[in-house]
Amino acid sequence: MIGYTSLGTNDLKRSAAFYDALLAELGAQRLMEFDDFIVWANPPTTSAFSVHIPYDGKQATVGNGVMVALSAQNRAQVDAVYRKAIELGAADEGKPGQRADNGFYAAYFRDLDGNKLNVHHMV
């Protein structure tokens, strides 16, 4: 249903290095790259993730209540992505663990620009 998700950044080079390493944990690779944005995906999927320098030229800011959720193949991958995020300088927003009785296992963190992300697996 979602074609792609975009987050703003004020430092594309720094953000690109963070997401190259982080999204590799999910098997994603760069799909497109321009001077002001980069897109990653897991081909042949149609959904993608991108970071952008804001089009209006203003500072990128964090959306209050906005979160991007990344789907993992299993709990071990949730743990690995979370560890990689923290290793890359992300801020912890919730260590990996069972969140609900319905099999929702997730971890939460903020990227280098303060954007909130979740990586999860549903059993």
Task: Write down the pLDDT at residue 10.
Answer: 96
Whether 60 is covered by a domain: the verdict is no
Count of CB atoms within 10 A of residue 79's CB?
18
> Is 59 among the domain residues?
no
| Structural domain that includes position 84 | 4-54+66-122
What is the per-residue pLDDT across 54-79, written as a single tens digit (0 to 9) for each?
A: 999 999 999 888 999 999 999 999 99
Judge whether 61 lies within some domain.
no
Of all residues in the chain, the percent with pLDDT exceeding 70 is 99
| Length in residues, the chain | 123
Rounded distance, CA 9 to CA 101, Å?
35
pLDDT above 90: residue 45 = no
Task: Give the CATH number for residue 28.
Answer: 3.10.180.10
Total of domains in the chain: 1
